[in-house]
Amino acid sequence: MQTVTLTKENLLELYKKDLDELLKISSKYLKDEVEFCSLVNARNGKCSQNCRYCAQSSYYRTDIESYPLIDKETVRKAAIDAKKHHVTRFAVVTSGKSPDESDFDAIVDLIKELNKIDGLKSCASIGILTDEQAKKLAESGLKRFHHNINTSRSYYPEVCTTHSWDERLNTCKLVRKYGMELCCGVILGMGESIEQRVEMALELAEIHPDSIPINILMPIEHTPFENYFDKIDEENILRTLAIFKIANPESILRFCGGRMRLSEENQIKALNSCVEGILTGNYLTTTGKSPEEDIILVKKLSKNIK
């Protein structure tokens, strides 16, 4: 049950509270368990979009390795290995604005392969969907679809101009329309203001995702945001996480890319106050903690692994 009125003004007031007091408020909504998920980067690079943070955009010379859709056996082996490390959700992730019609059926086959693995729930992150694609994914048995808003509606033109925030929102609506769970989050530290972080929290509350992945920008050389290391500090990351949890008490906040920008101490503070999920292992184009390290950390906090 909400204990605060969810207005921008009230959330801004909460944001400015003493940090320990703010984290104590958000901890009221925290479950005593942590959910692990993982992913396989199933198609990399050569993306037609100009997202200014992204190593995979064809607009920027990042020297990233590009490769086509990987085969079913590679995905199956990656998923089985992830399951050995307490992962209960596993995602197929591909680059590009939208699923390529030439390999959409192959992606559906990858999802069906994941569904054969007992105890593992299938996820996918394959871009902006059409109604028909969303319907086919649901029919394939896909449990959860991931599609971030990335930033607030008001700041989105500063991040990407080749597609709109509303296109992303429409995909989230299609996911809900066809009965799939929704994973929808953000990237912090791209130059957004505190007010726009609060706007994100409220926009996510409107979308009501099952899971909110929290990424913290890891600036990539040769992208427009390559020098954006100083756009957010650790204290403001924690403040934002707390506000997100207060505004979205039923959603699982999940540590994803860029978590390593937080000290061990502050990662622990977040897990004790507002974060209930971890994308473990490596990410798409950056590295994270090993699954073994994450298991040790969660057990150290006397939390259950969901």
pLDDT tens digit string along 223-232? 999 999 999 9
Which stretches in the chain have pLDDT values below 50?
1-3, 285
pLDDT, position 121: 97
Residue 115 lies in a domain: yes
Whether 92 maps to a domain, the answer reads yes
In a domain, 1, yes or no: no
The per-residue pLDDT for 184 is 98
In a domain, 12, yes or no: yes
Identify the CATH number of the domain in which residue 246 sits. Answer: 3.20.20.70
Query: Structurally, how many domains does the chain consist of?
Result: 1
In a domain, 2, yes or no: no
Identify the pLDDT of residue 46: 82
Q: What is the mean pLDDT of the chain?
A: 94
Position 284 scores a pLDDT of 52
pLDDT at site 3: 46
Mapped onto helix, strand or coil, the DSSP state of residue 303 is coil
Q: Which residues, in sequence order, are bridge partners of residue 37?
A: 89, 279
List the domain range (segments joined by +) for residue 130. 8-305
Residue 64 has a pLDDT of: 84
| Alpha-carbon distances, residue 292 vs 31, 132, 261 (angstroms) | 22, 40, 19
CA 204, CA 191: separation in Å to the nearest integer? 19
Does residue 299 sit within a domain? yes
Asked whether residue 3 is assigned to any structural domain, the reply reads no
Q: Which of 217, 231, 204 is nearest to 52 (CA)?
A: 217
CB atoms within 10 A of CB 255: 26
Furthest C-alpha separation in the chain? 53
Q: Which DSSP string corresponds to 190-241?
A: SS--HHHHHHHHHHHHHH--SEEEEEE----TTSTTTTGGGS--HHHHHHHH
First to last CA, the chain: 23
The pLDDT value recorded for residue 2 is 45
pLDDT (0 to 100) of residue 306: 82
Q: Could you give the count of Cα atoms lying within 13 Å of 230 in the half-sphere of its Cβ? A: 1
Q: How many Cα atoms within 13 Å fall on the side-chain side of residue 207? A: 34
